[in-house]
A and B are shown apart, each in its own frame.
Chain A
Amino acid sequence: MKEFLKKLNLLPDKTDLKAWLISFGIINFAFLYHTLNFMWGNHDVKFIKEELLLSSGLFEGRFTQFIPYRLLTSGQILPILNNLLGFTFLTIGLWVLAKYWNIKKSLIGYILFISFTATQPYTLSWMYFTFITISCLLWTLLAALGLFLSEHINNSHCKLSLSCLSILCFYLTLGGYPPIINMFFVCLGGKIIISYVFEQKSLKQLFHIHKFTILNIIIAAILFKISLFYLPPNNVYNLETESLSNLPHKFIQTINISFKQFFITVPFMEKGYKLCLAIMSFIAIIGTLLIPSKATKKMLTLCFWIGTIWATALTTFLVTPHTEYVSRIDFYGFGFLYALAAGILLTLTPKIYQSFGVIIITCLLCLNILNDYQALKIWKQGHEAEFQILDNIVERIENHPQFDANHQYRFYQVGDISLRPNYYNGSFEFNDVFLLTIPYLAMWQGSNLLEFYTPTTYIDHKLPLLPEDITPEVYDFFMHKAQPWPHPNSVYVNQDIIIITYNQPELDNFKKRIRTLYP
Chain B
Amino acid sequence: MQKHIQNIKKKPSEIYIWITSLLILCLSFSPLLLNFIWGNHDWLPLIKDNSVTSGLIEGRFSQYILLKLLLMGKILPILNIIIGFFFYSISLYCISRYYFKFQLTKLSTALYISTAASLPYIIEILYFHFITLSLLSWTLIITLSLIATQKAIENNFIPWEICGFTLLYIALGGYPGCINMYVTAVCCRLIQLRIAKQLNYTQLSKHILAHAINLILALGLLKITFYYLQQQHLMMNMYNSQAATPTELIQKLPTIIQAGIIGFTETQPFLSFSLKGILSTIFIIFLISIFIQTFKTNKKTSNILLILILILGLIISLKFSAWLISNNADNAFAKLDPATSMVRTDFYSYPTLILFCLLFIQEQKKQILKNISFICAVFLLVTNINTNLNFSKIHLLGFTAENKLLERITNRLENHPQYLSNNLYTIIQAGEIPLRPQYYQKKLNEKYGYYTLNTPYSRHWIAFEYYNFYAPQNFVQEGTSIKMEDITPEMITFLSTQMTSWPHPYSVYIDDKYVIIALTSEGKELLRNQFKLLHLSPQLRR
Contacts and interface: CB of A to CB of B under 8 A. Distances in A.
Contact of B412 (A391, A399, A401): A399
Interface string A40-76: 0000000011110000000000000000000011101
A77 B503 CA distance: 31
B503 A38 contact: no
A265 B30 CA distance: 36
B386 interface: yes
A38 B502 contact: no
Nearest to B393: A79
Nearest to B503: A398
Given A38-B31, A49-B438, A399-B503, A80 B386 contact: no
Given A49-B439, A405-B503, A78 B400 contact: no
Contacts of B390: 76, 78
Contacts of B400: 453
A38 B390 CA distance: 13
Contacts of A399: 412, 503, 505
A84 B505 CA distance: 46
Interface string B19-47: 00000000100110010000000000000
Nearest to B404: A453
B401 interface: yes
Contacts of B441: 50-51
B27 A80 contact: yes
Contacts of B31: 38, 79-80
A397 to B, nearest CB: 8
A453 B400 CA distance: 8
B371 to A, nearest CB: 15
Contacts of A79: 30-31, 389, 392-393, 396
B503 A403 contact: yes
B459 to A, nearest CB: 16
Contact of A81 (B34, B385, B404): B385
Contact of A36 (B34, B389, B438): B34
B34 to A, nearest CB: 5
A394 interface: yes
B94 interface: no
Interface string A375-394: 00000000000000001001
Interface string B378-401: 000010011001101100110011
A456 B411 CA distance: 18
B504 interface: yes
A502 B382 CA distance: 43
A404 interface: yes
Interface in B399-425: 400-401, 404-405, 407-408, 411-412
Nearest to B411: A395
Nearest to B407: A391
B401 A78 contact: no
A85 to B, nearest CB: 10
A467 interface: no
A514 to B, nearest CB: 28
B273 to A, nearest CB: 12
B419 to A, nearest CB: 15
A74 B435 CA distance: 22
Interface in A26-43: 36, 38
A455 interface: yes
A404 B502 CA distance: 9
B411 A78 contact: no
Contacts of A77: 393
Nearest to B387: A74
Nearest to A404: B504
Contacts of B408: 391, 394-395, 398
A455 B412 contact: no
A51 to B, nearest CB: 6
Interface in B28-72: 30-31, 34
Nearest to B519: A455
A158 to B, nearest CB: 26
Nearest to B392: A79
A452 B390 CA distance: 17
Contacts of B27: 80-81, 84
Contacts of A455: 401, 405, 433, 435, 438, 502
A73 B386 contact: yes
B80 interface: no
Interface string A121-163: 0000000000000000000000000000000000000000000
Nearest to A452: B401
A401 B407 CA distance: 19
B501 interface: yes
A38 B504 contact: no
B415 to A, nearest CB: 8
A38 B411 contact: no
B30 A80 contact: yes
A391 B404 CA distance: 8
A40 to B, nearest CB: 11
A475 B511 CA distance: 41
B502 A405 contact: yes
Interface in B278-335: none
A394 B502 CA distance: 13
A405 B389 contact: no
A480 B160 CA distance: 87
Interface string A75-118: 01111110010000000000000000000000000000000000
Contacts of B504: 404-405
Contacts of B392: 79
Interface string B422-436: 000000000001010
B401 A453 contact: yes
A49 B28 CA distance: 19
Interface in A326-374: none
A391 B411 CA distance: 12
Contacts of A405: 501-504
A131 B502 CA distance: 34
A41 to B, nearest CB: 16
B389 A78 contact: yes
A48 B405 CA distance: 20
B89 to A, nearest CB: 19
B397 to A, nearest CB: 8
B501 A78 contact: no
Nearest to A51: B441
Contacts of B386: 72-74, 76, 78, 81
Q: Which of A48, A51, A77, A81 has the most CB of B within 10 A?
A: A81
A70 to B, nearest CB: 11
A73 B382 CA distance: 8
Contacts of A456: 503
Contacts of B435: 453, 455
Contacts of A84: 27
Interface string B85-97: 0000000000000
A131 to B, nearest CB: 14
A199 to B, nearest CB: 38
Contacts of A454: 401, 405
Contacts of A403: 503
Nearest to A74: B386
Contacts of A50: 441
A49 B439 CA distance: 5
Nearest to A50: B441
A401 B504 CA distance: 8
Nearest to B438: A49
Given A78-B390, A80-B27, A401 B505 contact: yes
A50 B394 CA distance: 11
19 contacts: A49-B439, A74-B386, A78-B386, A79-B31, A79-B392, A79-B393, A79-B396, A80-B30, A80-B389, A81-B389, A391-B404, A394-B404, A395-B411, A398-B503, A399-B503, A399-B505, A405-B502, A452-B401, A453-B397
Given A49-B397, A398-B502, A404-B504, 8 more contacts: A38-B31, A76-B390, A79-B393, A80-B389, A81-B385, A398-B408, A401-B505, A453-B401
Closest 5 CB pairs of A and B: A398-B503, A78-B389, A453-B401, A455-B433, A79-B31
